[in-house]
């Protein structure tokens, strides 16, 4: 049986592993089906992480985190957790996609969130063939070409700025007439001669052929615009990755809000003893790397306290 199981390998999960093992827990496993790092690895620019003075990519920021966090004994299992259950004796059972089951005294869920789809016609058809949610990953393919960005938050504006350094022109499409982003970022966008704003507009359809995207049809207050671009980057929010907490009857293991975010207290405790949540999956998360890391540390410290108090758990 594990002392602590951590589900998710982003900033919250990695930091939880670091603090749990350095804090004395001997049998801690982080379950992450891919490479550790999380959503931030897709970010083109990180300039607000404390102590990192230079502007770096998300991949560069996270490069040494796994090595540091595993130095004290954290183990990484490249497995996908499909469900977390709590048995009558307080032991947690993790069901894995491989069919295996793992028992643990405590669990920290740090599964984060994933980009939402906008829902326009052709979005799925051309995803990976012109439609993208990662400017860092795919921006290079459109060097010296015109592209579009859909969204009005910080991520959309920051990625539009990033793409303007690669592409000949960036069309920024937003359904409202004002942005939900930091004032400084909005000013940078408005003062960028390579970014053209298309406001009060929505995308109706993406079109192309078997070679890829050729353009998008935009509805701007009843007027149709045919924007011929080979690439569009969609940044319209995130979905909470809470599937591991869903039980066989469709309910959640712990309390969640109407967005599906896990409700925790200041110690990252859910209303189920021994179950913690950290990072973007929790209610009121700030969606910042530094905050996710802080959540992970807090969850681990309190998980250690929980495990010390319960002592040995016996079968039902």
Active site residues: 134, 137-138
Structure token digits, residue 190: 């408005």
Structure token digits, residue 200: 């009060």
Residue 211 has a CB neighbour count (10 Å cut-off) of 9
CB 149 within 8 Å of CB 35 = no
What's the CA dihedral at 152, 63, 102, 33 to 10 degrees?
A: 60
| Distance of alpha carbon 149 from alpha carbon 169, whole angstroms | 11
Give the three-class secondary structure for 54. coil
Pairing of strands 169-173, 146-150: parallel
Q: How many Cα atoms occupy the beta-carbon half-sphere of 30 within 13 Å? A: 31
What beta strand segments (E) does the chain contain?
Answer: 2-7, 28-31, 75-77, 81-86, 92-96, 101-109, 113-115, 131-132, 146-150, 169-173, 195-198, 201-209, 212-220, 223-227, 232-234, 238-240, 275-277
Give the three-class secondary structure for 307. helix
What's the CA dihedral at 97, 103, 104, 110 to 10 degrees?
A: 10
| Distance of alpha carbon 256 from alpha carbon 262, whole angstroms | 4
């Amino acid at each position: 049986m594990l002392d602590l199981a951590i589900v998710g390998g982003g900033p919250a999960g990695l930091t939880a592993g670091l603090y749990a093992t350095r804090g004395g827990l001997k049998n801690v496993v982080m379950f992450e089906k891919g490479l550790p790092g999380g959503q931030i690895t897709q970010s083109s620019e990180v300039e607000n992480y404390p102590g990192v003075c230079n502007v770096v990519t998300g991949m560069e920021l996270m490069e040494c985190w796994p090595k540091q966090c595993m130095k004290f004994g954290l183990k990484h299992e490249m497995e996908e957790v499909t469900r977390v259950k709590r048995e009558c004796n307080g032991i947690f059972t993790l069901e894995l996609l491989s069919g295996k089951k793992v028992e643990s005294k405590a669990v920290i869920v740090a599964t984060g969130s994933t980009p939402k789809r906008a829902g326009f016609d052709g979005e799925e058809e051309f995803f990976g063939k012109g439609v993208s949610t990662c400017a860092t990953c795919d921006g290079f393919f459109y060097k010296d070409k015109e592209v579009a960005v859909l969204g009005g938050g910080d991520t959309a504006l920051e990625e539009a700025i990033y793409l303007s350094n690669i592409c000949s022109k960036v069309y920024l499409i937003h359904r409202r007439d004002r942005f939900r982003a930091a004032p400084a970022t909005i000013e940078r966008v408005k003062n960028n001669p390579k970014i053209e704003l298309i406001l009060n507009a929505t995308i109706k359809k993406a079109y192309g052929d078997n070679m890829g995207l050729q353009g998008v049809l935009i509805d701007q207050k009843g007027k149709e615009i045919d924007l011929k671009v080979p690439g569009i980057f969609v940044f319209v929010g995130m979905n909470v990755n809470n599937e591991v907490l869903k039980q066989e009857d469709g309910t959640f293991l712990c309390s969640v809000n109407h967005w599906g975010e896990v409700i925790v207290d200041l110690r990252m405790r859910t209303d189920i003893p021994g179950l913690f949540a950290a990072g973007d999956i929790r209610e009121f998360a700030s969606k910042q790397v530094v905050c996710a890391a802080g959540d992970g540390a807090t969850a681990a410290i309190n998980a250690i306290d929980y495990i010390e108090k319960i002592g040995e758990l016996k079968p039902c």
